[in-house]
Amino acid sequence: MTTLTITRIAHSSVLIDFAGYRVLTDPWFSEKFGYYHGEPYGITLENLPHLAGVVVSHGHYDHYDMQAFQAYPDKQVPMAVKRGIAQTARKVGFSNVTEMDAWETTHFGPITVTAAPGKHGVPEITYMLQANGFTVYFGGDTLLIPELNEIPQRFPEIDVALLALNGLQIRPLGNLKQVMDAQDAAELCRIIQHL
């Protein structure tokens, strides 16, 4: 029997294990002023297993912390990142970085990685990860946007959706919502399950 194991590391950083082929999402393994995990790491950077690949939804420090992640020893690990931000990973030595836009596909060994739309304070993508008959949706920090309505046509069977729902708002900008709240996330679940 094939298995799917998902381990929360911290914030949007999650390890998705497709029976030995593992994808790390949005690596964030350090803290600085104003940015605290508020939880212990599910897995520390030193204890990460060998990765089949890394996906990055957008360029914010708490999702794409290459200063810390440069300690990861395999510099050829495939990385998929939002178009326009590969340089940050290349600068610290990662050599196999692919920039993606929505609906583009790449592969981490047996894992099919398809970018999906996303919207946040900066350009963002989300990801559909597929292997061994499992489909996992990684929602990064996206807001609930109309472009996500296209997901169920392209991916009718999603087994797990990982969605941010802290409802972050930036108050000086007139309460502009930056991340979905729980109600938005429930609505997105309804959309992608075409209920």
Binding positions for Zn ion, rule: CB under 5 A: 60, 141
65/141 with CB nearer Zn ion = 141
**CB of 11: closest distance to Zn ion in angstroms?**
10
What 3-state class would DSSP assign to 147? helix
**CB of 122: closest distance to Zn ion in angstroms?**
7
Asked if 93 and 116 count as a contact pair (C-beta separation under 8 A), the reply is: no
141/184 with CB nearer Zn ion = 141
Residues whose CB is less than 8 angstroms from the CB of residue 191 and which lie 6 or more positions away in sequence, other chains included: 148, 149, 151, 152
**CB of 35: closest distance to Zn ion in angstroms?**
11
**CB of 33: closest distance to Zn ion in angstroms?**
17
59/135 with CB nearer Zn ion = 59
Q: Report the C-alpha gap between 181 and 69 in whole angstroms.
A: 29
20/123 with CB nearer Zn ion = 123
Structure tokens at 111: 């894992």
Residues whose CB is less than 8 angstroms from the CB of residue 147 and which lie 6 or more positions away in sequence, other chains included: 102, 117, 119
Task: Tell me the residue number closest to Zn ion, measured at CB.
Answer: 60
